[in-house]
Amino acid sequence: MNLALKLPALALPATSPQFINRYNETSGKQTLNMVSELTEGLNAAAASVSPKYFYDALGSKLFEAITELDEYYPTRTEAGIFDAAHTSMANALADAGITRSCLIDLGAGNCAKASRLIPHLQPQQYVPVDISVGFLRDAAEQVQSTFPALDIVGVGMDFSTGMVLPAEVQQSDRVFFYPGSSLGNFSPDQALAFLQRMVDPAQGAARGLLLGIDLVKDQATLEAAYDDALGVTAAFNKNLLRHINRLLGSDFDARQWRHLALFNESESRIEMHLQAQKNLSVHWPGGERSFRGGERIHTENSYKYTLASMSALLRRAGFTQINYWTDPKDWFAVFWAAV
Ligand code: AVI
């Protein structure tokens, strides 16, 4: 049965989605914030850069390529779980009394993952949210042409700092959708605060959450996923230096840096670093930093959870009913958490 045909909307002509932009990438304040965040991280004794700087135009393409790699199992494993369990997921929403859901897609990107779920969950409203405003606008138009009667409100905003949504977003039956194990790029404390903002009635006001989470597994599988044979993840990591050069006017030379990906078992996280291959100096207007050969810049953490540790985190955040679905190898889980 083609479930898309069950949507009442197909009988109606396509309209344009609403779009509300709360994010201005090029505002002077935003630029100043980025410069001070970057220089603070680069000047720290243990240098670090936020992983959000991976995602310039080339970085986003490299990430898309990563998701196609043999070694990078999370994307295809999660897709398999959604394919196998979408009916059970729709039932979980119904069991929680959520009948006219507002599906809020955090970091929606091209909206592809939600588009595959919409026929099954049949939301009343779909709200893709992202900071890549132009890209999101096009993606929302595309979803609207696939589901012409669906009420779509695209929102350009940085949801990592606050979860207050525009008034146009339906207040009732809000279900957040946060796939891809993106929560793993926050520290557990940051993840907890993020989930708490989601359930806060004055902010996200979530009734439920569908969350994709990568699980702890053997070290070799984890490290290969972040250090692939083709070197795509290495290019993704080094591209950060090109992006910083553009933002800061610095003179990083990507050829002088080596990509490292290590599983830190005690912290239960993959760490990505860039390691200086020799003694070198980097300069930018108003500053500079010397690195000894072997010294590193910490560029990303990707935390891996167990079913028990993620269930506990969701409970601490205020979710009460928790279910999950996994793949046959228990490599990845999709959690359903209701308030
Ligand atoms: C976006 N995020 C969930 C990815 C991850 O697996 O932590 C980013 C990534 N970094 C290297 N490969 C993929």
Ligand 1 pocket, mutate which of 217, 232, 302, 331 (most atoms under 8 A from CB): 302
57 C-beta neighbours (distance < 10 Å), count: 11
Is the C-beta atom of 50 inside 6 A of ligand 1? no
How do beta strands 296-303 and 269-276 pair? antiparallel
Chain centroid offset of residue 60 CA: 12
Q: Is the pLDDT of residue 299 over 60?
A: yes
Q: What is the pLDDT of residue 196?
A: 98
Q: What is the pLDDT of residue 4?
A: 46
Ligand 1 centroid, distance to 61 Cα (angstroms): 13
Residue 60 three-state SS: helix
Q: Is the pLDDT of residue 102 over 70?
A: yes
Q: What is the pLDDT of residue 31?
A: 82
Find the Cα–Cα–Cα–Cα dihedral 82, 85, 86, 90, rounded to 10°: -130
Is the C-beta atom of 67 inside 6 A of ligand 1? no
Question: How is residue 216 written in tokens?
Answer: 């702890």
Give residue 173's region: left, alpha or beta (phi > 0; psi -120 to 50). left
Q: What is the pLDDT of residue 160?
A: 87
Q: Is the pLDDT of residue 271 over 70?
A: yes
Is the C-beta atom of 107 inside 6 A of ligand 1? no
Question: How is residue 108 written in tokens?
Answer: 């929606």
Ligand 1 centroid, distance to 109 Cα (angstroms): 14
Q: What gap in Å lies between CA 136 and CA 115, rounded to an integer?
A: 13
Q: What pTM, to 2 d.p., does this model score?
A: 0.93
Closest ligand 1 atom to residue 302 Cα is 7
User: Which of 1-5, 42-46, 84-88 bottoms out in mean pLDDT, i.e. has the lowest?
Assistant: 1-5
Q: What is the pLDDT of residue 135?
A: 86
* Sheet order of strands, 257-264 included: 257-264, 269-276, 296-303
- When the pLDDT of each residue in the chain is averaged and rounded to a whole number, the result is 94
Between 30 and 34, the more confident residue is 34
Q: Is the pLDDT of residue 11 over 70?
A: no
Mean per-residue pLDDT, 277-295 = 98
pLDDT in tens, 225-243: 999 999 999 999 999 999 9
Question: How is residue 133 written in tokens?
Answer: 């405003």
Chain centroid offset of residue 121 CA: 21
Res. 6 pLDDT band, cuts 50 70 90: low
pLDDT in tens, 205-232: 999 999 999 999 999 999 999 999 999 9
Res. 132 pLDDT band, cuts 50 70 90: confident
Q: What gap in Å lies between CA 148 and CA 325, rounded to an integer?
A: 31
Res. 32 pLDDT band, cuts 50 70 90: confident
Is the C-beta atom of 179 inside 6 A of ligand 1? no
